[in-house]
Amino acid sequence: MTMAAGKSSNSRQGDALPRHVYEEPDRHGNVRVYYRKGHGPRIRITARPGTEEFWRQYALCAAGHAPKAPRRDRKPQPGTFRALVVDYMESVDFARLNHATTAQRRRVLESMLGERLNRESEDIFADIPVNEICPAHVKLLRDRKSSAPEAANHRLKTLGPLFKWAISERRMETNPARDVAKFRTGSEGHHTWTVDEVADFARRHPLGSKAYLALALLLFSGQRISDIAQFGRRNVGEDGDGFPVLRLTQVKNRGRDPVSLELPILEPLSEALMQTPEIGTAAFLETEYKKPFSIKGLGNKFRDWCDEAKLPHCSAHGLRKAGATIAAENGATEYQLMAIFGWRKAEQAAEYVRKARQKKLARAAMHLIVPPPKNPSLSDNQAAGEGNDRHKLLKFLEAC
């Protein structure tokens, strides 16, 4: 929605914009200046109103020409935030990250470089001297994504390693992102599949299909889709007793802190591998062109398979969480979960064990909420709702 020429929702007091010029905030709250005459094209003016450069660009717009954006030097000024980011992305530390992580961090960092320091200034974050960056700058970058808390937190997650690297290179003395708190999102991340949802997927994609094999690889190996995309015959071997095992080095953190695993191949996975006629040679899962899926390609394909099964809220990573949940509820300890899923720290495993214990403890103790029966002839089981009518409520709700 454009605004009337010469008017602005964020106009500065004392600034009179010339005819056909208006201001409009972008999604980050930065005020942009545009020229538009009648129903003609909207043309961006990059200079600050009232400056000589502004009037030069305005004259070009009035003559029907779009002004070229001012050219920035390809080589950043030494000591600036842009220079720090460029050097970080060319560093060994950055190169050792996996491809998905480097692509994501590059995208986030480059998006922040071009943002203005405030609405009234033409200065951008790229040009801040590194020694002037403080927690207030980091907080501002976080808050500009407050409407999308996960994206805001990802900015902090990206800036933290950058500043940590800068300290190791003696480019900074402190990490300004350390004292900026993440937003609480109230989200537990990817939805954890239920047993019924696994059954729904299997009904739509039965044993023998490529989709079912993907489901079995994800659920019965407990690994990420980045690992599943590369699984092939070379990953299968035998343990000391002659039983088949899956050997892998996880893709995540492979370049920095690799995690190598040897996992028994469970019967459901073995059956899926043997019953799938389209099993690949270079990788178990291949495209229609007989090429291994890329990680992103397999993720998109699995998304399609979930949608076909009418499970739009389910994802590949949710199966990994489902496997951890089932194992914990069946009595797996923190260290057993760490051995299966390749976690380095016990905290992640402990969360699954804690939830499993809560269910068992509640099931064993819930009857204690019910007051003792007044009628001595009434059994304890009946007072606890464990008599012949224990399923009456469930049947009633199903009938509603």
Cβ atoms of residues 386 and 367 within 8 Å: yes
pTM of the model: 0.63
pLDDT at 360: 87
Print pLDDT tens along the chain (400 aa): 344 444 444 444 345 789 889 888 876 667 788 998 888 888 888 888 888 888 888 888 888 888 765 555 457 889 999 999 999 999 999 988 887 788 889 999 998 998 888 877 778 899 999 999 999 999 999 999 988 888 899 999 999 999 999 999 999 999 999 989 988 876 667 899 999 999 999 999 999 999 999 999 999 999 999 999 999 999 999 998 889 999 999 998 887 788 999 999 999 999 999 999 988 888 999 998 889 999 999 999 999 999 999 999 999 999 999 999 999 999 999 999 999 999 988 888 998 999 898 888 888 888 888 887 766 554 455 444 454 555 666 666 666 5
pLDDT score of 366: 85
Contact (CB, 8 A) for 4 and 17: no
The whole-angstrom separation of Cα 336 and Cα 162 is 34
How far is 30 from 144, CA to CA, in rounded Å?
A: 10
Q: Locate tokens 């003609």: which residue?
A: 40
pLDDT computed for residue 6 by the predictor: 45
Instruction: List the domain boundaries for the chain.
Output: 1-71, 81-168, 195-359
- Rounded Cα distance between 88 and 83, Å, is 8
Distance from the first to the final alpha carbon of the chain = 47
Name the β-bridge partners of 33: 23, 45
Query: Which superfamily does 195-359 belong to?
Result: Intergrase catalytic core (1.10.443.10)
Compute the Cα dihedral for 320, 322, 326, 329 and give only its sign: positive
Q: Quick one: tokens of 206?
A: 């039965």
Residue 287 DSSP SS3: coil
